[in-house]
C-alpha cells in the first residue's frame, strides 16, 4: 500500500494480531508452568471422590452414575480387565492412552496425564482433547478393579458467560478497528492538505491558505508551513521587484550611454559639447560600475560566498581614513566635518565595515546642502562600540524611514534627482551590521537632517 491511510490501517491490524498472538503465547506459557499441575491435582481429587463414592455404593447403577457425570461436564474412560473400555460423554479426539499407564492404575497408582503432558506451543494442555491428557485412579466395583480416567468436557464448561465474554472481545475488536479507521482519516486529512499545498508551492503558488485549526503537532506543523508560505510569498514579491529594479537601474544608464555615444558620432559637434557628452558617458559608466559592485557585494552577503573574516583592527583609524577619502567632496561643498573618535580595537570584518562607513558618509554628503555640517562620533562602552553620523541634510519622512533599508528604494526623486544613487547602499549597511550581530538606529525629521547610529556588540 502506497497511501499513508492504508499503511496506518495495515499497521493497526498487524499490531492487534501480533498482540493477540503474544497474549496467547504468554497465557499458554503461564498455564504450562504454573496452572497445569494445579489443574491436575484438582481433577485427581474429583476422580478420587468419584471412586470413593462408587466403592461406598457398590450396588448402584454404575452406567447411570457415569452418564450423569458426563452430563454435568466430564469425559470418563472406564476400563476393566475383562471388558472393553467404555467412554462416557463426548469421544476423545485422539485415544492415545498407553497400556503401561492403564496397568499402573490397576496396580493402585494415580495417573497424572494432565501434569505430565508434553507442553505444546499452540495447543495448551487444558484444551488438548486426548485420552492421554487425563487423570486416572483405580476403584473397586462388584469385587473387580477398574481404571477410571477423567478430564473436564471443555465444550460443556463454556457457559453463557463465556460466550458473552467472547462476544464482547469480538465486538471490542471490531469497534477498535472502525475507530482506528476514523482516527486515521482525521489524522491523515491535514497531511493530505499539506501535501496539496506543498505541490502548489512547488508550482510557485504562494497564496493558498490552510484551514487546519489544531493545537497538536500536526497543527504546529501546519502553522509553521503557513508561515513559510507567507515568507516565500514575500520573498517572491521581493525577488520580482528586485529583478524589475535591477533591470530599470541598468537600462537607464545604458540608454544614456547609447544616446550620447550616438551624438558623439556627429563630426560637426562642437568640442565643448563633445566633452560634456563624454563626461556624461563616463558618469553613467561609473554608476553602472558602482551598481555592479554593490550587487556583487549584496549577493556575497546573501549567499555567504565571502563569509566574515573577523579579526582585531583599529576601527578608529579606519573611520579617519574614510573621512580623508571624501575630503575632496567636503571641500567642494564647503562643508564642515566634526570628528570625535576614541582609540578602539574591534573584532570584526574590516573590509565589510569599511563599506558601512563609506556608504553612511557618502549619503550624508549627498543629502546635505552646500555649507552644511556633519558630526561623526565613535565611542566604546563596556559591551558595545557605537558609531554615529549626523548631518544637516534634507531629512526623511516617516514612510521613507521605514523603507530606507529596502533594496533599490530611493526617496522622492523630485527632491533628490541631483544626488540619485543606486538605492543599495543602506541595504548593504543594514546587512553588514546584522552579520556582526549589531543594529542600526535612525533618527530623522524632514528638513532637519538625519542621524544614523550603529551599535556593534563586543565579543
Q: How far apart are CA 299 and CA 456, in angstroms?
A: 23
Q: What is the pLDDT of residue 307?
A: 62
- Exposure letters 89-120 (e unless 16+ CB within 10 A, then b): beebeeeebeeebbebbbeeeebbbbbebeee
Helices then strands, each counted (H, E), the chain: 15, 12
Q: Which three cell numbers stand for residue 103?
A: 496397568
Residue 97 has pLDDT above 80, yes or no: yes
Residues 161-186 have a mean pLDDT of: 78
Say what the pTM is.
0.46
pLDDT at 302 over 80: no
Cell numbers representing residue 256 in the block: 544614456
142 torsion bin: left (phi>0), alpha (psi -120 to 50), beta (else): left
**Residue 189: pLDDT above 90?**
no
312 DSSP β-pair partners: 347
Asked if the 185-307 domain carries CATH number 1.10.287.130, the reply is: yes
Q: What is the pLDDT of residue 166?
A: 73
Domain 310-457 has CATH 3.30.565.10: yes
Write the CB contacts of 281 (distance below 8 Å, at least 6 apart in sequence). 256, 257, 260, 261, 264
C-alpha cell at 86: 467404555
Higher pLDDT, 408 or 377: 377
Q: pLDDT higher for 121 or 66? A: 66
- Cβ-count burial 41-79 (b if 16+ within 10 Å, e if not): eebbebbbebbeebeeeeeeebeebbeebbeeebbbbbb
The residue among 7 and 404 whose pLDDT is bigger is 404
Residue 379 binned pLDDT confidence (cut-offs 50, 70, 90): very high
| Residue of 288 and 108 predicted with greater confidence | 108
Q: Say which range, 61-65, 112-116, 201-205, has the weakest mean pLDDT.
A: 201-205
H helices of 99-216, in order, are 99-106, 113-116, 154-157, 160-202
Q: Which of 159-173, 402-416, 435-449 has the lowest mean pLDDT?
A: 402-416
Q: In the chain, where are the structural domains located? A: 4-158, 185-307, 310-457
Question: Mean pLDDT for the chain?
Answer: 82
Mean pLDDT of the 294-299 span: 67
Reference 431, options 353, 375, 372; nearest CA is: 353
**Triad 126, 128, 133: Cα angle to 5°:** 80
Give the 3-state secondary structure of 270-312: CHHHHHHHHHHHHHHHHHHHHHHHHHHHHHHHHHCCCCCCCEE
Q: How far apart are CA 20 and CA 29, in angstroms?
A: 14
Q: At 341, is the pLDDT very low, low, confident or very high (cuts 50, 70, 90)?
A: very high
pLDDT, position 174: 86
- Which stretches of 36-147 are DSSP H helices? 36-56, 62-71, 99-106, 113-116
Q: What is the DSSP string of 422-456?
A: -S-HHHHHHHHHHHTT-EEEEEEETTTEEEEEEEE
What's the pLDDT at 410?
A: 59
Q: How far is CA 435 from CA 307, 387, 389, 459, in A?
A: 9, 16, 20, 13
Please say if the pLDDT value at position 124 is more than 60: no
pLDDT above 70 covers a percentage of the chain that reads: 85
User: Who wins on pLDDT, 237 or 46?
Assistant: 46
Q: Which residue has the higher pLDDT, 294 or 322?
A: 322
Residue 248 pLDDT exceeds 80: no
pLDDT score for 416: 41
User: Using CA atoms, how far apart are residues 48 and 52, in angstroms rounded to an integer?
Assistant: 6
pLDDT value at position 161? Answer: 64
**CA angle 36-49-53, nearest 5°?**
160
Q: What are the grid coordinates assigned to 118, written together?
A: 508434553
CA dihedral 194→199→205→210, nearest 10 degrees, is -10
Please say whether the beta carbons of 43 and 50 come within 8 A: no
Q: Give residue 215's pLDDT band: very low, low, confident or very high (50, 70, 90).
A: confident
Residue 348's nearest CA partner among 389, 308, 305 is: 308
Q: Put the strands of the sheet holding 144-152 in their side by side order.
A: 83-88, 74-80, 144-152, 135-141, 111-112
Q: How far apart are CA 385 and CA 453, in angstroms?
A: 10
* Mean pLDDT calculated for residue range 345-357: 90
Asked if the model's pLDDT at residue 217 lies above 80, the reply is no
Percentage, residues of the chain above pLDDT 90: 26
Amino acid at each position: 500500500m502506497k497511501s499513508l491511510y492504508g499503511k496506518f490501517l495495515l499497521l493497526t491490524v498487524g499490531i492487534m494480531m501480533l498482540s493477540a498472538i503474544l497474549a496467547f503465547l504468554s497465557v499458554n506459557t503461564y498455564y504450562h508452568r504454573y496452572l497445569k499441575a494445579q489443574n491436575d491435582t484438582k481433577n485427581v481429587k474429583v476422580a478420587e471422590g468419584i471412586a470413593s463414592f462408587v466403592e461406598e455404593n457398590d450396588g448402584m447403577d454404575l452406567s447411570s452414575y457415569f452418564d450423569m457425570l458426563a452430563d454435568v461436564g466430564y469425559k470418563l474412560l472406564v476400563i476393566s480387565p475383562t471388558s472393553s473400555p467404555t467412554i462416557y460423554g463426548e469421544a476423545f479426539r485422539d485415544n492415545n492412552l498407553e497400556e503401561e499407564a492403564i496397568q499402573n492404575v490397576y496396580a493402585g497408582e494415580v495417573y497424572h496425564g494432565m501434569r505430565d503432558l508434553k507442553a505444546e506451543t499452540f495447543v495448551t494442555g487444558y484444551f488438548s482433547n486426548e485420552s492421554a491428557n487425563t487423570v486416572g485412579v483405580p476403584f473397586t466395583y462388584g469385587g473387580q478393579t477398574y481404571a477410571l480416567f477423567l478430564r473436564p468436557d471443555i465444550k460443556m464448561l463454556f457457559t453463557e458467560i463465556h460466550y458473552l465474554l467472547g462476544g464482547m472481545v469480538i465486538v471490542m475488536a471490531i469497534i477498535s478497528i472502525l475507530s482506528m479507521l476514523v482516527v486515521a482519516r482525521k489524522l491523515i486529512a491535514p497531511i493530505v492538505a499539506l501535501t496539496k499545498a506543498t505541490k502548489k508551492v512547488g508550482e510557485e503558488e504562494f497564496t493558498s491558505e490552510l484551514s487546519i485549526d489544531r493545537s497538536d503537532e500536526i497543527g504546529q506543523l501546519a502553522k509553521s508551513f503557513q508561515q513559510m508560505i507567507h515568507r516565500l510569498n514575500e520573498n517572491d514579491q521581493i525577488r520580482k521587484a528586485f529583478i524589475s529594479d535591477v533591470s530599470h537601474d541598468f537600462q537607464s544608464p545604458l540608454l544614456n550611454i547609447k544616446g550620447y555615444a550616438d551624438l558623439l558620432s556627429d563630426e560637426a559637434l562642437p568640442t565643448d559639447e563633445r566633452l560634456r557628452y563624454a563626461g556624461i558617458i563616463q558618469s553613467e559608466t561609473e554608476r553602472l560600475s558602482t551598481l555592479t559592485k554593490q550587487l556583487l557585494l549584496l549577493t556575497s552577503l546573501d549567499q555567504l560566498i565571502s563569509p566574515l573574516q573577523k579579526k582585531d583592527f583599529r576601527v578608529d583609524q579606519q573611520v579617519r581614513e574614510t573621512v580623508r577619502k571624501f575630503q575632496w567632496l567636503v571641500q567642494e561643498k564647503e562643508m564642515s566635518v566634526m570628528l570625535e573618535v576614541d582609540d578602539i580595537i574591534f573584532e570584526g570584518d574590516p573590509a565589510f565595515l569599511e563599506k558601512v562607513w563609506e556608504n553612511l558618509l557618502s549619503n550624508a554628503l549627498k543629502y546635505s546642502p552646500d555649507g552644511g555640517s556633519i558630526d561623526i562620533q565613535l565611542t566604546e562602552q563596556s559591551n558595545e562600540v557605537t558609531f554615529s553620523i549626523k548631518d544637516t541634510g534634507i531629512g526623511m519622512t516617516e514612510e521613507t524611514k521605514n523603507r530606507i533599508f529596502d533594496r533599490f528604494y530611493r526617496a522622492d526623486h523630485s527632491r533628490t534627482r541631483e544626488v540619485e544613487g543606486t538605492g543599495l547602499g543602506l541595504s548593504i549597511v543594514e546587512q553588514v551590521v546584522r552579520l556582526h550581530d549589531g543594529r542600526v538606529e535612525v533618527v530623522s525629521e524632514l528638513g532637519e537632517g538625519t542621524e544614523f547610529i550603529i551599535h556593534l556588540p563586543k565579543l
